[in-house]
Structure formats: C-alpha cells, structure tokens
Amino acid sequence: MTELFEIPDGTPLMGAVTFGLIDRGTNVIQVRPSTSCPLSCIFCSTDAGPCSKRRRAEYVVKLDHMMEWLRELVKVKGDGVEAHIDTVGDPFTYPRLVELVQEIKELEEVRIVSLQTHGHLMNERILGELAEAGLSRINLSVDALDPMLAKKLSGTEGYDVERVIANARYALENTSIDLLLAPVWVHPLNDSELEGLIALAKDMGAGRRSPPLGIQKCEFHRFGRRTKEMRYVTWYAFYRRMRELEKKMGMKLVIRAPDFGIKPARTVEAPFRVGEKLMVRVVGPGWLRGESLAVTRDMGWTVTVVGEELPAGEEVRVRLLRTKDSILVGRPS
C-alpha cells in the first residue's frame, strides 16, 4: 500500500515533477495538486492507480500552500497565463478541485484554467461547479469507444466510457466549459478506434475555443506500464498516420503549441547545473520506491533523491542528475 503524504507547509513547490508547479518557459504553468488516480491504465507512463507496483507515496498539496506559490509565479509570467492542472494521476482526486479552479481564475494574470483527465470521476454536479468556478477547458482522454476495449485500456473493470462521453456532452451542452478530446494512440490495440474518436469530436462540437482533438502518442517510460501487445510508434510514423487521418477525416490532427496560444514567457530557472553537488534535507518519502523527497538548504527548491530511502530530517549531499525545466533530481554522492 502506498502512503498518502501531505506536503508540509514551507516545502518549496518548484523542483518536483510530481507535485507543485512546473514552468517550462512558456505562458503555461502546470499545476499539480495531487498524484492519486482511480484508474490503472495499461499504458500509464507514471504507473498510476491501484495497480501501481512502483509508487511509494501519493502526494497532496494544501490549497493555501499551492496558491501562495502560484501567485508569485504568475507575477513573473505576466498577463496571458494558462494554468493547466495535469497531475501524474487525475485532478478529480484532489478534494478541493473546485476551490482551486476558482482561486486560480481570480488571479488577474490568468487567462485560461484547464485540466487533463480520463473523466472517470466526472459527473454533472461537479462539472456545473467547475464551470461556475471558471474552468475554461477539459482535455479529456477517451482512448476507445468500444466499452470492453476501453475497460481493458483503463485497467479498470468499473470504467464506463459511455458514461464519460455522456458527461462530456453535458459539459458542452449545459456549461461554458470547452472540451478537447485527447485520446492516447496505443498501437495496435486502439488503431481501429481513431476514426471513431475523430468523428465523436466532430459530433460533440468539441473545440469551441481550442482544437477539438489532440491525439497523443503512447510513450514507453522506464517507470511506466506496458503490455506485450503494445508496439512502439516512432514520431515519424505517428505524424505520418496523423496526416493520413487528416486527409481522410477532414480535421486538423497535427497540433502545435501556437494552436493553443502557447508562447515563450519569462521563466523561473533553478540556479543549478547537472553534475553540481549540494546539501539537501529529507522532508518525506519519495514518490517511487528507492526515492526520497528533499529540499535545498535555502528552502527554495524541492529535490527528488534517487537511489536511497532516507529518513525525514537527514541531511545528505547529492549530485544533480537533472535540472531541465527546473525539475531537480539528485543521487547521494
């Protein structure tokens, strides 16, 4: 069983890939308030859900803590920010999701509040509340229309794709929330589903203020899940297939950042480089087995320590293995 760990007050909310805020140098800020997921998708890149074999802890961030850090980051970004709630699980597991959306929307620098989900926990009530709170768009991953295949891909017997689609239609027809369908192409399992998903996006009227459909390429990650049936698709093959489907279905499928209004923006960069050594203090369990959660001495950044499960309070010198996008990973040295 994984431990549910509430991120302590005062812990930096930048530096981790699993929780807090991620700034990749654009006007989009990734907001990650929790890590839990109700599904165990067979292709999950982060090994999320009840069937996880690698996760040591699930994280949750207090609302006030998150907003304290987000207010400062949007000041750096300036006007036109998109706050995208895209956890390594599912945002609907966050108990204060509606309040989070509302408080983010009240920030004057924020133009769009969006979230990514498989929709298993959506219902009409919470969709109405999210619309009132100011949610702009849902990026909904529906990976198959066939109910049995959808269950198989989700790794969850209780997953009901027809109910998910019904709730998506409700959002489009009864609220101000826009919708982008974002299926994952899991070759060859859902090859035959792609055309139906494109037709569904058209039929639903998705993409009132954004592209209606954004098919995602299934990636094989070191700590992710995959089955023997799955085959890797190169980026060349992926774009070739998307262009074939564009011609056949009459819908743009090769989506670029500008299609969403994404553009470069001022960024907060970690003042470290790969190979640098620094002292950190452990504050909690790591997200995955064999890891620990730590902070820098100045309490400015979170660091994921790989290779050891260390007790809280211990100080250790680490050598940084990653600093890209200010996501900090180190190993004891």
Q: Report CA 28 to chain centroid distance, whole Å.
A: 12
Distance CA 194, CA 212 (A): 14
150 within some domain: yes
Pair (286, 196) in one structural domain:
no
271 within some domain: no
The label of the residue with tokens 């553009």 reads: 263
Domain of 205, in residue numbers: 3-260
Domain count, the chain: 2
Least Cα distance to 202 among 215, 191, 213, 189 occurs for: 213
Pair (230, 325) in one structural domain:
no
Pair (239, 317) in one structural domain:
no
- 163, two tokens: 């109910």
Distance CA 114, CA 83 (A): 6
- pLDDT tens per residue, the chain (333 residues)? 689 999 999 999 999 999 999 999 999 999 999 999 999 999 999 999 999 999 999 999 999 999 999 999 999 999 999 999 999 999 999 999 999 999 999 999 999 999 999 999 999 999 999 999 999 999 999 999 999 999 999 999 999 999 999 999 999 999 999 999 999 999 999 999 999 999 999 999 999 999 999 999 999 998 899 999 999 999 999 999 999 999 999 999 999 999 999 999 999 999 999 999 999 999 999 999 999 999 999 999 999 999 999 999 999 999 999 999 999 999 999
Pair (111, 255) in one structural domain:
yes
Pair (326, 189) in one structural domain:
no
Least Cα distance to 145 among 217, 198, 210 occurs for: 198
Pair (305, 176) in one structural domain:
no
Pair (76, 202) in one structural domain:
yes
272 within some domain: no
266 within some domain: no
Distance CA 12, CA 287 (A): 16
Q: Would you call the peptide bond into 91 cis, given omega within 30 degrees of 0 as the criterion?
A: no
Pair (185, 140) in one structural domain:
yes
- 322, two tokens: 């990653």
Pair (327, 239) in one structural domain:
no
Q: pTM (2 decimals)? A: 0.96
